[in-house]
Structure 1
Amino acid sequence: MKILLVDDQPLLLMGFRLILEGEPDFSIVGEAQDGEQAVRMVRELEPDVVLMDVRMPVMDGIEATRNIVGSGSSARVIILTTFDLDEYAFAGLQAGASAFLLKNVAPGELVQAVRVVASGEAVVAPRVTQRLLENFVRSKQPVAASDGSAEGLTSREVEVVRALAEGLSNAEIAGHFFLSEATVKTHVRRILTKLDLRDRVQVVVWAYETGVVVPGAE
């Protein structure tokens, strides 16, 4: 797995490198210290995962993420932030990042997060992601409630979307709806195709923004 590190603080770059290089299947292919350099290196090195700081000179991590995702790159971006309710983390998810992590993440959690994002199988830190989304959706104008039908989702697919927004794994969704995990994976794949989204966390962002999931609702 090829990983690109992006941060303007050399000590953090060194720390992340030391942690991730300990994994036999991880390869750190480069380091960038600003967003513009990151965009260029993604194009040249084609990493699988990018650990992206937000506040950097020349080009910030949000704009860099938007550029990377917009270019059609298959690289998945993890936003690094200091505070779990940072408005920049939410902006990063809107820009197309697959997840966000706190900079004080434990080494084991960092390794697991990279694997999770690369696989596309789950949302990193679902409870934190959910809290972040609820916080910023509440701060916007109320959206009209939606059942997802306008986007061509079936009632079962809408149920799966809401389960994803709760942070449930494929196995948990399967148990809840008495389905096989293979069937859940098929539903998730169809949802991504119908909504033209990259991964599960983008589905959760979409669900909150369209009213399919309402903050605070049971």
Structure 2
Amino acid sequence: MPQMKVLLADDHPIVLMGVREIIERDPRFKVVGEALSPSELIEKISLLRPDVIITDYNMPGDEHYGDGSRLVEYLRRHFPEPRIIVLTVISNPQVLTWLYELGISGVISKSSGLEQILVALDAFYREGHYQQDMPDETSSDALDDVAKSLSQLTVKEFEVLRLFASGMAVGEIAQSLNRSIKTISTLKISAMRKLDVDNDQALLILCLKANLFT
């Protein structure tokens, strides 16, 4: 069987270097390219035609394809053939379940070790798929108080909160997600109520404490 072609995307060069080093330990897999932004990723998918895409969930600053849910939806709609692995520190069970339902092949936590990437690639090579358990919402009992609160958010609320924490204003989030300002404001207010915060400063402090948006 020929080498499996892997394309990497992350806005942190150190992460890219670490992931490449892990993958290239096994001669069955070849990193054919790296991207630092969603636009660069889309361009290189068309050019390199990878078998597997390993992408960060949070790559801010791209006006064309966005990141997070918007980017993953675009990848699944326009590039159905490559398997997709999402790297993230997000633990929100609703977001993770939505990603699997969308058709990605796996979610690998940056905080739990990137060695799992080789496990997933080995499964692709041997069996054609990577069997990963669906997230169990009851497992949130093991999370700290902040993570428990975040786990209550819907996918849309979480996405608005994630973009807000990255420094975007409500109007910019509305433009990025192609929604009205009123809709984004409503989602932000709903998220704040669930998180029991009553101002933007408290909201940002909670996001920093959770360390979920890097």
Task: Output the TM-score relative to the length of structure 1.
Answer: 0.53
Extract structure 1 runs of 4+ deviating beyond 4 A: 132-136
SS in 2 for 1:116: helix
- Judge which range, 17-26 or 64-73, deviates more: 64-73
1:72, CA displacement in angstroms?
A: 4.3
Give the match for residue 130 of structure 1.
135
Query: Is 1:104 the counterpart of 2:111 in the alignment?
Result: yes
Separation of aligned partners in 2, 1:81 and 1:64: 14
Are the equivalent residues in 1 in contact too, given 2:108–2:114 (CA < 8 A)?
no
Gaps of 5+ in 2: 141-149, 155-214
What fraction of aligned residue pairs are identical, expressed as a percent?
27
Partner letter of residue 123 of structure 1?
A: Q
RMSD of Structure 2 on Structure 1 (CA): 3.0
Against the structure 1 CA distance between its residues 54 and 72, is the aligned structure 2 distance closer, same or farther, given a 3 Å change threshold? closer
SS in 2 for 1:8: coil
Query: Is 1:67 the counterpart of 2:70 in the alignment?
Result: no
Separation of aligned partners in 2, 1:75 and 1:85: 25
Gaps of 5+ in 1: 141-218
Q: Can you list the C-alpha shifts for 1:139-192, whole angstroms capped at 9, x where unaligned? A: 77xxxxxxxxxxxxxxxxxxxxxxxxxxxxxxxxxxxxxxxxxxxxxxxxxxxx
1:53, CA displacement in angstroms?
A: 0.6
Against the structure 1 CA distance between its residues 110 and 122, is the aligned structure 2 distance closer, same or farther, given a 3 Å change threshold? closer
Are the equivalent residues in 2 in contact too, given 1:90–1:132 (CA < 8 A)?
no
Selected match of 1:7 from 2, 6, 10 = 10
Task: Output the TM-score relative to the length of structure 2.
Answer: 0.54
Selected match of 1:92 from 99, 103, 106 = 99
Give the match for residue 42 of structure 1.
45
Against the structure 1 CA distance between its residues 130 and 14, is the aligned structure 2 distance closer, same or farther, given a 3 Å change threshold? same
1:93, CA displacement in angstroms?
A: 2.7
Separation of aligned partners in 1, 2:128 and 2:73: 19
